[in-house]
Structure 1
Amino acid sequence: PRRLNCLIPSPDGYLVPIRWPRSRDEVWTANIPHTHLASEKSDQRWMVVNGDKINFPGGGTHFHYGADKYIVNLAQMLGFPNDKLNNEGNIRNVLDVGCGVASFGAYLLPLDIIAMSLAPNDVHENQIQFALERGIPSTLGVLGTRRLPYPSRSFELAHCSRCRIDWLQRDGILLLEVDRVLRPGGYFVYSSPEAYAHHDPVNRKIWKQMSNLAQRMCWRIASKEGQTVIWVKPLTNGCYMRREPRALPPMCGHDDDPDAAWNVLMKACITPYSKRS
């Protein structure tokens, strides 16, 4: 299609956005006309329509009582000082996969943590529009066949709270992509029914397979509580070198550039650390 060199006007009725930090908790209804998500997720406290404004109580599918309390609980699970997830500045960049309206990322900002919130344009329409209107860093995207547009070792923590992703598909290629963008010693927070699958046979099977895949990737469980498990990535190549020669997933070849991220197909392999790291 022909590229147009012109300015895109604001939609009819669009109001000047509410400024941060107020925008974390409220935006103009007129700026986001599709509000059916509010009624659909009302029991999970995602958002509430109040006349000309949409309010965000801070809830989510997994954290009905607020993202702030959920974040404190994660810090407590990891034993971080002062119950702060930033771990005294050691956690600065977070990837939130399947972020909803990005309340998790919104409540990380006071901790000096920048979260890149990622969500698809799905049955809930464009959730990212809510996140951007709130002033939260976010992008429309999905874990599919191509690498995320970030170099390797970009994030200290990745987060999936009921993100509706099949991490086991295609030899675990999606979880291996998360591994690629995590830094040495990085964390993967997984909040999902599978994490406490004691009675449901389907969830129990998924959890067993997920645990097996993580173990083969040399991830270890840092903490597990209720519906949440936190894995940690190894700091060195030591575990990788101790694996059996034909262990799966395989190590990526020497010709693979883990930092190549633009329009590059994902690979179902583990990215080793270079000698520099």
Structure 2
Amino acid sequence: MVRARRSTSGLPRAGGAGTPGRRNPLGASGRGSRVRSWPAAGSRRLAAARQRAELDALQQGIRYRRVFVALLGVIIAVSAFVVLLGTVGLLGETRSRPLTQAEQNRYRQEEIARRWQAWPATGVFPEEVKYLGLDRAQQYARRVGIAPETECAKAADPSVAHVLRDHGCVTMLRATYVDQTSTFVITVGVAVLKDEEARVSAGEQLTQDDRVGVLPVAFPGTVTERFGAAQRQRTGWVGAGPYLVFSTAGYADGRARAAVPPEEILHSELWPAAKSVGNQIAYFLADPPKVPPCTQGNVC
């Protein structure tokens, strides 16, 4: 019977009980024992830091929100103050109050300056105009016709037209009248300047030559049909607001200026009548309007 050979290395055989007196590190059962896993030492500190960061972020957000709310409140307050000031100012401007002297003067000037447009042609040139005849008797000149509105340069002699153009003449309105006996023919021309200052300046440059001024307007088939530039005996003008009111007169029978002796014109009723008619129309245009006492009427 063959005996088993002992191991010459002195080590226990694989799978043996091992050397007596030494403990098997795997335990009696041969299975590996379970090792319990403990949390790292810094995990709590990490959680605490994370919590502090979240808390700081939350507090920072709260601070930002407070700042935003404060700024919004300031903006709203300033806006409300501005709106309040605007409302107070608007109420102050729109509420009815007495007109100042400067406002009353401006009201008069603006009212007079727009009459040539606001009034009908028959309002600028009434059908009948009073004048003083012989022995200062009150008589009436009758309107024969109203000419179409025209450029200032086309309705006046060249020397007068030059002055009007230089001072911004807007337009020329003309109408022709006859005296109560239909002996005299009178053309009245209203030159519309841009304002009263321009009218005054233009008047200072107009010559005193009574041979030049507004060109006459004749209406065919009427007593005025023979009244032309050569038939003008005298011309003149008067200022009123922004208007220069010209007048020129002649005889209805067509007599030219050269055919009438100067002394006859000097003592004739023709020119006083023509001047009176022109002055009356100027008075109508520049008659001061009634100014309301308040900005919104008669009640302040």
- In which range does the TM-score fall when normalised by the shorter chain? under 0.3
Q: Which has the higher strand share?
A: 1
Query: Which protein shows a greater Rg?
Result: 2
TM-score scaled to structure 1, two decimals? Answer: 0.26
Query: Which protein has greater RCO, CA pairs closer than 8 Å, 6+ apart?
Result: 2
